[in-house]
Structure formats: C-alpha cells, structure tokens
Amino acid sequence: MSYKDLQDFVKRLEDIGQLKRVPVEVDRNLEITEIVDRVSKAYGPAILFENVKDSPYPVLINAFGTYERTNMALEVNDINKIAQEIENLMDMSSGITFVNKVKSVPKLARLAQISPKKITKAVCQEVIEEPDLTKLPILKCWPEDGGPFITLPLVITKDPETGMQNMGMYRLQVYDEKTTGMHWHLHKDGRRIYEKYRVLGGKMPVAVAIGCDPATIYSAAAPLPKEVDEMIFAGFLRKSPLEIVKCVTNDLFVPANAEFILEGYVDIDELRVEGPFGDHTGYYSVRDLFPVFHVKKITRKRNPIYPATVVGKPPMEDCYLGKVTERILLPMVKLHIPEIIEMNFPIEGVFHNCVIVSIKKSYPGQAKKVMHAMWGMGKMMYTKMIIVVDEHVNPHDLSTVAWKVFNNIDAAGDIVIVEGPLDALDHASNLPRYGHKMGIDATKKWSTEGHTREWPNDIEMLKEIKDMVSERWEQYGI
C-alpha cells in the first residue's frame, strides 16, 4: 500500500524508531544545517524539528538519509527491485522500451493503472492564502549562500507546444515574501520549456509542490527521458496512481497530497542574480543570472510539514537518492550497451563526475567503445571520468577497482581524453558547461589491441584448497 502523503511516511518512520523529534527552538539560519550535517554523516535518524524560530511549521529533514529509509520510502526491500521491474517492462524481443510503453499508456493495462488521477477537492488546497514566503521555515544552509533556499521543490511546468507537463527539482532562492529565483540549468527540461515561452513572450505559469509522498519527491529529481511523465513514473513507483488537482490560479495540475503549493509565474523578460549556493558537490556554485518566480497564491494543508534537505560534502541525504538513480538507470544503459554487467556511481564522484562499469569484453577496443557510447547517452554526457573494468571485477569494490586502475593501465594507450558538455556545477573546467572528460581502460589488454607482452593472471588460490580451509577453519583455533 503506497504512502498516502508525506505525513503518512513520517508516521511510519516514527513507528519503527527512525524519526527523532526535536522540541527545542532551532534557527533555520545555519543551525539546522550543522545539526543535520552531523547526524547525516553518523548515519543517524530522520529529524522533525517541531519548533523552528519565526515559523509556525515543523521541518522534516534527513528522511532519505540511509539505505534503509530510502528503501522504505520507495516501499522495497532492495532498490535493485525497482530496476528489475523496469527491466521486466522492456520487451527485448520486439525492441519496445519502457519509454515507448509509457508513450502508449492506453494500450497497456499495467501502465494505465498508474496514470495520474484528476480530482476536484484536495488537501493541498484546504487553506488558500496570500503569499508570504518568510513564514515558511526555509533554510539558509551554508555561510556563503546567497540567502535561504527551498531545497526540495517539485517545480511543475507545461510545454506550450505539446501540453505535456514536466515536474523537476530546481532549487529556489527566496528573495522576499513573493519572489524566488528559478534555477533552470541550460540542459534541464524546465529550461527547455522556458525557452519555448521566451519565443511566445509574456508570462509562463509555474507551480511548486513542497512535501509529497516520497515516491513523488524522488520522481521529480530522477533524470528521466523527456518522453516520460514524472507523475506517471511516481505512480509506477507507488504502484498506485498519483492524485492531482488543478491549481487555483492557473491550469497546471499538482499533486493533491502536497503539504504546500506555490502558484505563480515566471516573466520571460526578467532575470536576477541567484547564488552562491553550497551544493551537492561539496563546493559553492557561483552567482549567475536566472529567471524569477513570482508567487501569486500559496495553498496548503491546515497543519502542514515543511520538508527540506541539506546538500554538501558527501555523504549526505542526497547520496542515497543518487544510488536509487544508479539502479534505475542500469537496465536502460544495458539496453543500449548490452556488454555492461554492472555499474557504480561512487558517492565521492557526486554522481556526475565518475562512473565505474564492468563489461563482458569480446573484441579489441571494446572498453573505449563503451566510454563513447555512455557519453552519448543523455545526461551521461556530464560524466567526467568513466572507468571500465573486466566482468569479474565488482565496480562497487573500490579497493579492487583502484588496484586494477593503478596496475592495469599504460597511460599512453589506455587513457582517453575527449571534449564535450559538462554539468553546470563543474568548477574545474576553464569554460562553464564545457571541458574535458577522461576514460580509463583498466581491462586486461589483448594482443589484438597491440599488447605485445604476456599478461599475468590474477593471484587466486585453488577452489578446492579454499573449500578445505573453510571446512577446517574452526579446527585452527584462529
């Protein structure tokens, strides 16, 4: 049974001892961040701050902050099961992928059952009020941040050409009671829709949902293909349709179970300086000009909870959501690059800076082919480093991967340097959003790849000796 809303998830966390209530007054300006940073890095509980200075609303944070809670949030025992379900939806024989099946929803009962369900009365509209963002317990996370930021917003827009809605997660810097920044990066779907409105002129309707059931929150952050409706994907994860309701001031549909909804518009002729922001890379992202979101109405529950997250030096809460993305991406990647066996986005690589893949190598130069194929797959173009190892190496065993990289490469032939797009948060390249990426071929080299020397075998004990020692282990008294 899917969670009814965020508060249903909070109740479940508390029931199993995974939630800590903090009744004393805390400050949204830096203090909450320092508390959460310590708790997160100690793999501590979710926290509900019940008494936030200058706000009537409690703050929920670190709700996804362990693998156990992330599994709970998505109602699985193992996040790999989500990838298995997606793989099952891929009809390999006919070449119909999950994306194409989503596009043909009426023909597929399984997906038809998870399409959003429109309703006319919703708890997210129990209270309708004039906007005053200062009443919300919006956090200023780090000392050099440009101001307080809404860090878990579900930003909803609609393509003016296709009529298809998009739901993405883009941080919102609060400027005053009624306006925020709208952090649409160049390569994001929200930015693509914004550019269409710039051609049309005028105002672009926008709605922001804050605080939904966990599957819907994750769906907004997931790097889905643009053909996939995030609300359908939320239904897929929830195994039940997401109820949606029309906004009070525009024609956008928003999650009916949200704690808060911000309704408003972006004026396509207006830009404002946004940032800095202490980001998930562990560094501050710099100031830049971004569109401005004007809030016209706030609708909410009578007694809402405000959810937030803090990002910074890993590991933090977002790392666990990143691992969900890794698992969900794997079957899609394997569909296009079938020689890939396993994949790991190390937490230290902050998801877009490094990926390690193991492959079943069957022809010369295959590792380099895999690198280029991955760089050509959507948001994989941001990946600054791709490491390729043989099929018997577990990409999640970083010690073994490091051993292979440190010992198996000849720099002149096994390192590939390419130029191309980079993530907007990358600070190391000379140019913004463009620079160099590296591939490392740490596989065993063949004579057909030009390796003229005999390649040594890994040192491994005979299986019968290992089995014998295991059977006798207690006899040794060690």
Q: Taking phi first (over 0 means left), then psi (-120 to 50 degrees means alpha), and beta for anything else, what does residue 192 get? A: alpha
Which of these is catalytic: 5, 145, 279, 423? 279
The answer to whether 443 and 414 have CB atoms below 8 angstroms apart is no
Collapsed DSSP state (helix, strand, coil) of residue 340: strand
Q: 254-268 b/e with 16+ CB inside 10 Å = b?
A: bbbbbbbbbbbbbeb
Active site residue 5: no
Contacts of 88 (CB under 8 A, 6+ apart): none
Residue whose tokens read 């939320």: 234
What crossing angle do the helices spanning 317-336 and 80-88 adopt, rounded to 10°?
A: 30
Asked whether 305 and 311 are in contact (CB, 8 A), the reply is no
Q: How far apart are the C-alpha atoms of 192 and 470, rounded to whole Å?
A: 59
CA atoms of 215 and 234, how far apart (whole Å): 6
Which two tokens mark 223? 């790097």
Which residues, listed in sequence order, are joined to residue 311 by a DSSP beta bridge? none
SS3 of the chain: helix, strand, coil, percent, to 5: 30, 25, 40
* Dist. CA 111–CA 105, nearest whole Å: 6
Sign (positive/negative) of CA torsion 194, 197, 203, 204? negative
Give residues with Cβ within 8 angstroms of 461, minimum separation 6. Answer: none
The partner residues of 186 in beta bridges, in order of sequence, read none
Q: Check: CB of residue 57 under 8 Å from CB of residue 306.
A: yes
Contacts of 45 (CB under 8 A, 6+ apart): 13, 17, 18, 19, 20, 39, 62, 65
- Measured over the CA atoms of residue 453, residue 387, residue 423 and residue 265, the dihedral's sign is positive
| CA dist 13 → 69, 181, 217 (Å) | 8, 33, 16
The phi, psi pair for 259, rounded to 5°, reads: -75, -45
Transcribe 179-213 into DSSP letters: EEE----TTSHHHHHHHHHHHH-SEEEEEEEES--
- Catalytic residue annotation: 279
